[in-house]
Structure 1
Amino acid sequence: MTLFRLLLLTIIAVVGVYTVIVVSNHGLGLLPIFFGDIAKMEWPGQFNMDFFSFLTLGATWVMWRHHFSLAGIALGFCVFAGGAPYLCTYLLVASFQANGDAKEILLGKKRAAA
């Protein structure tokens, strides 16, 4: 669990620093570029579509883990806005709340107890 937590912290730090540099150099105009690349049907768009699919999968899992409650849906939508740093932070917090129990991290407290 320690290595997993270190991986999560590394992803948060690396993507966070990278994002700060990109925003400082290019501003916050991500969405037109992101979806524009998808519309062009070229390799950058393929990568964006693949990433968007991962965001969808991650958001759906977070919502499911919280039984599609209002809070779970809100947390799931945060995956779209926050990407990997948000999901890694979510998993890091969940890992401590579950005392490192992988079953509870993946399924949530209720499903893991069943």
Structure 2
Amino acid sequence: MALFRTYLLAIILGLVTYTMLVGMEHGWNLLPIFFGNIVEMSWQGQFNLDFMSFLSLSAIWVAWRHQFSGSGIVLGILAFFGGMLFLAAYLLWASGQASGDTKVLLLGRERAKSV
């Protein structure tokens, strides 16, 4: 679990640094570019659509892990719009809460009890 957490921290630091540099160079108006590429039917658009599918799967998993409670739905929305930066931070937190139990990490404490 320590190696996993180190990996998550590296992702967070790398993404924050990269995002700041890109934002300062190109501005913060990502959504028109992101969806514009999809509308163009280009390879970049294909990548963006594929990536958006991963974002939606991440959002559904986070909300499901919290049993689609109000806070789970809010976390799911954050997962969708926050991408890997959110998911890495969330998994870092969740891995600490799971105390090394992978079943709890993946399923959440309530579901892990019933399995």
Question: Shorter-chain TM-score category?
Answer: over 0.9
Counterpart-to-counterpart distance in 2, 1:26 and 1:80: 22
Which aligned runs of 4 or more in structure 1 are off by greater than 4 angstroms?
none
* 1:34 Cα deviation after fit: 0.1
Q: Which residue of 1 aligns with 2:36?
A: 36
Counterpart-to-counterpart distance in 2, 1:111 and 1:89: 22
Q: Which residue of 1 aligns with 2:13?
A: 13
In the TM superposition, 1:1-114 aligns within 5 A as 1-114=1-114
Counterpart-to-counterpart distance in 2, 1:64 and 1:47: 26
Q: Per the alignment, in what secondary structure is the counterpart of residue 67 of structure 1?
A: coil
- Report % sequence identity: 56
Counterpart of 1:65 in structure 2: which amino acid? R
Structure 2-normalised TM-score? 0.97
Counterpart-to-counterpart distance in 1, 2:17 and 2:71: 29
CA deviation string 1:15-69 (max 9, x = no partner): 1110000100111110000000001111111111111000000000000000000
* 1:100 Cα deviation after fit: 1.5
- How big is the alpha-carbon RMSD for the aligned residues of Structure 1 and Structure 2? 0.6
* 1:3 Cα deviation after fit: 1.0
Structure 1-normalised TM-score? 0.98
Counterpart-to-counterpart distance in 2, 1:19 and 1:105: 27
Counterpart of 1:102 in structure 2: which amino acid? T
* 1:80 Cα deviation after fit: 1.8
> How many residues get paired?
114
Counterpart of 2:56 in structure 1: which amino acid? T
